[in-house]
Amino acid sequence: MTFTLAHLSDIHLSPMPRARRRDLFGKRVLGYVNWHRGRKFVHRRDILDVLTRDLVEREPDHVAVTGDLVNLGLPEEFLAAAEWLRHLGPPDKVTAIPGNHDAYVRLHPDHGTGHWRPFMEANAPGAAIMPTPLMDFPFVRRFGDVALVALSSAIPTMPFIAAGRLGPTQRAHLALALDELGRKGLFRVVLIHHPPLPGQAGWRRGLRDARALKKVLQEHGAELVLHGHDHVQTVHELETATGPAAIVGVPSASEAVAGRIPAARYNEYRIDKVAGGWRCDMVGRAVSDTAAHVWECEHRVLVKP
Ligand SMILES: [Fe+2]
Ligand SMILES: [Fe+2]
């Protein structure tokens, strides 16, 4: 039976709540100015709503959101994003991970990503395979033959820096999870905000330990790696010990059509267990030029035996 997984990223949810003076410190001051000078014209709520209406109507089996749900990390933004996640579906049908904008400033989880907790934790079949480590990531969610391994590359950084990092503990747990899921013959989907391969993003925006992550993926295998952060559609293939892994970046889900190319898009993956392995098709769904509807902009076979 086909499992359909929808992937969207870089929501950059608007409208921006009015910021209190005491909340505007450090990196947020620059971000606040940037938002009102330009970013709010790029990331638009009406575009996002057209896209998510299409997604919800198509009733995928599961939805993955790979970070940058908010912009400046204001407490009200996290509450609004929790509400937005609930509108996508119940927590057992929606998985979220944080991006760099969700760690914009150091914040106690109770005032930040803690509001997304039901969407950001293992499910029982996943925890049975690999219990979530104390640091909360990676967590595993299993749905029959398909398993999601959710990472957090979100770290607070200095202004003008949008880099990410997993760290050795998370990478070690990822290796364990990939081995265990591979032994069970499951289709392994890794979720990460930053592009996972070295060189995909520059020093200021990239994953600091991309080289080490690449090695983990090569040695332990995965079928699909989904990420955001760059706000563009990209597809790479990585040879691993268990066969090729498809690595796909998706554009921002809220990027205005009249803004930069490409426009808002999400991808739908149709995963099937077939004789001799897996087949996985990717269908791109993008907002039209007039922003009136969503159309199928791409269909390609990503994985086949
Ligand atoms: Fe982003
Ligand atoms: Fe990002």
Contact between residue 212 and residue 165 where contact means Cβ atoms under 8 Å apart: no
Smallest-distance ligand from the CA of 255? 1
Residue 101 CA to ligand 1 centre (angstroms)? 7
Predicted confidence at residue 159, as pLDDT, reads 80
Report field, pTM of the whole predicted structure over 0.85: yes
Predicted confidence at residue 20, as pLDDT, reads 83
Instruction: For 107-135, write each residue's pLDDT tens digit.
Output: 787 889 999 999 999 999 999 999 999 88
Residue 274 CA to ligand 2 centre (angstroms)? 35
Residue 50 CA to ligand 2 centre (angstroms)? 22
Predicted confidence at residue 194, as pLDDT, reads 98
Residue 124 CA to ligand 1 centre (angstroms)? 30
Predicted confidence at residue 16, as pLDDT, reads 87
Residue 1 CA to ligand 2 centre (angstroms)? 34
Burial track 89-127 (b if 16+ CB lie within 10 A, e otherwise): bebeebbbbbbbbbbbbebeeeebbebbeebbbbbeebe
Contact between residue 145 and residue 186 where contact means Cβ atoms under 8 Å apart: yes
Predicted confidence at residue 258, as pLDDT, reads 66
Residue 277 CA to ligand 1 centre (angstroms)? 34
Residue 61 CA to ligand 2 centre (angstroms)? 26
Residue 229 CA to ligand 2 centre (angstroms)? 4
User: What are the residue ranges in the chain where pLDDT is below 70?
Assistant: 258-262
Residue 252 CA to ligand 1 centre (angstroms)? 7
